[in-house]
Amino acid sequence: MWSFFARHTAVASSGYSASSTSSTVLQCGHTSRRSFASSSLSCRVRGGCGQTSSSSTSARQERHSFIISFVILICTVAVSVAADDTELYPNDGKINRIGRCAVGEDNSVSVGYGLTELNFNVKASGVKCLISTGNGETQAPYFAVYINGKFSQKLEVKQGESWYTLASGISASKVTNIRLVKTNERWMAAKITKLSVSGEVVAPTPAKSRLIEVVGDSISAGYGILTSDNDAADDVNTDATYSYVKILADKMGAQVNLIANSGRGIYANSDGSTKDAMPTLYDKLLPGVDDAAFDHSSVNPDIIIVNLGTNDSFAMKEHSEITEENITDAAKKFTVHLREVHPKAYIVWTYGLMNSNLTPALENAVSELSAADSRICFSLCRI
């Protein structure tokens, strides 16, 4: 193809007749099947083709040099176009979003809660992601990256906006699954603006048929789960991918929505305040980023696990005005609300990992409701 293109370009640019052009090709390449560009280059290396005058040879070399340059330019443009990355927004239909996300007017996706993820498939040699945060460096968002189900790296999102490499050196001829999973707390939020793929994004993996929703505090969020005696940074050591929530979901082959916030309770938070306890946060899309009401009809969990009460217990020790009756009433109201927004889900209350003094108060709230609804239970539930 290139030989045909070059010969016709030579005619157009030099004014040669078809016969003289053909002669030039045969003299330089010794065969009409060799590319004109290669033949011309061969001529220049040998110092000329045929017995011609020095001025004629020089003119021909200049014409050949121009043609070679033009062909190289065309090839370079073709290669650069082929190598262009595919850019797409994270709310694209080929990307599965798992967990609560806030989609912006610029098609960005903001994430906060742990285990929120983007899950997609590519045929590409590499994948990058444009992520930003307004959080201080002491509370950086972190993401775990999985390639074909295997942990690849943990990303710290720096202050401001930057491109981060999710995968490189992968095969563009094979389908590769990429998962970008938020690991730490809700308030360590990040905005995913764009993806850049050195190849193409292909059809996503079908979502798992089961969905577990977990509403909890630091225990469910995996707060400080990686902490050792020498480590104190909350953002690094909080990692929901190591929490019981992730282990349970994997064991059950289920997808999980985690709505967990350290220090929050069913009625009172660990500092004794009652504002923005977990029932309030539960009804918001992404508190602190987008306080719009969450559309509960957008998800249909099979099981809802509520693991709350620990921080209420801590608060009661310092604030005598907080009573067990407050806790029982709040637990009952929240359970009724869960049943209203998710009529078919199993609602399982659990409590007691760090303290157990509120067990009677919570069990009383749940047992009163479970008497009329077999899909509501405390600790043990036949499913």
Quick: pLDDT tens for 130-184: 999 976 556 899 999 999 999 999 999 999 999 999 999 999 999 999 999 999 9
- Per-residue pLDDT for 30 more than 50? no
Average pLDDT rounded to a whole number, residues 304-312: 98
Q: Which burial class, exposed, middle or buried, applies to 137 when counting CB atoms under 10 A from its CB (0-12, 13-18, 19+)?
A: exposed
Residue 95 clears pLDDT 50, i.e. is over it: yes
DSSP H or E segment with residue 86: strand 86-88
* DSSP notation for 132-175: EE-S-GGG--EEEEEETTEEEEEEEPPSEEEEEEEEES--TTS-
Helix axes 2-14, 18-29, angle to 10 degrees: 130
Average the pLDDT over 71-86 and give the result: 51
Report the candidate in 279, 375, 380, 275 with the shortest Cα–Cα distance to residue 332. 279
Q: Tell me the average pLDDT of the chain.
A: 83
Categorize the per-residue pLDDT at 202 as very low, low, confident or very high, splitting at 50, 70 and 90. very high
pLDDT over 70 percentage in the chain: 76
Is the confidence at residue 69, as pLDDT, over 70? no
Listed range (8-12, 74-78, 102-106, 215-219) with the worst mean pLDDT: 8-12
Give the pLDDT confidence score for residue 58 in this predicted structure: 57
Please compute the mean of the pLDDT values over residues 175-200 and round it to a whole number: 97
Residue 21 or residue 331, greater confidence: 331
Work out the pLDDT band at 60, boundaries 50, 70, 90. low
pTM of the model: 0.78
Residues contacting residue 210 through CB under 8 Å, at least 6 positions apart: 252, 253, 254, 255, 302, 303
Higher pLDDT, 288 or 336: 336
Higher pLDDT, 368 or 71: 368
Give the integer Cα–Cα distance in Å for 363 and 59. 97
Q: What are 341-377's pLDDT values in tens digits?
A: 999 999 999 999 999 999 999 999 999 999 999 999 9
pLDDT at 32: 37
| pLDDT recorded at residue 291 | 95
* pLDDT recorded at residue 56: 53
pLDDT at 26 over 60: no
Taking every pair of Cα atoms in the chain, the longest distance, rounded to a whole number of angstroms, is 109
Q: Does residue 214 contact residue 260 with C-beta atoms inside 8 Å?
A: yes
Most confident by average pLDDT, 10-14, 157-161, 197-201? 197-201
Position 236 confidence tier, pLDDT thresholds 50, 70, 90 = confident
Give the per-residue pLDDT at 182.
98
Is pLDDT of 14 > 80? no
Q: Strand 255-260 vs strand 211-216: parallel, antiparallel, or unpaired?
A: parallel
Q: Is the pLDDT of residue 48 over 90?
A: no
Model confidence at 21, pLDDT cuts 50, 70, 90, reads very low
What number is the average pLDDT over the span 8-24?
A: 37
Look at residue 10 and tell me whether its pLDDT is greater than 60: no
pLDDT at 134: 79
Banded model confidence at residue 235, pLDDT cuts 50, 70, 90: confident
Predicted confidence (pLDDT) at residue 336 exceeds the cutoff of 60: yes
Taking residues 267-274, report their average pLDDT.
Answer: 97
Q: Check residue 363 and give its pLDDT.
A: 96
When pLDDT is averaged across residues 253-265 and rounded to a whole number, the result is 97
- Average pLDDT rounded to a whole number, residues 280-299: 96
List the structure tokens of 270: 């660990």
Over pLDDT 90: what percentage of the chain?
A: 72
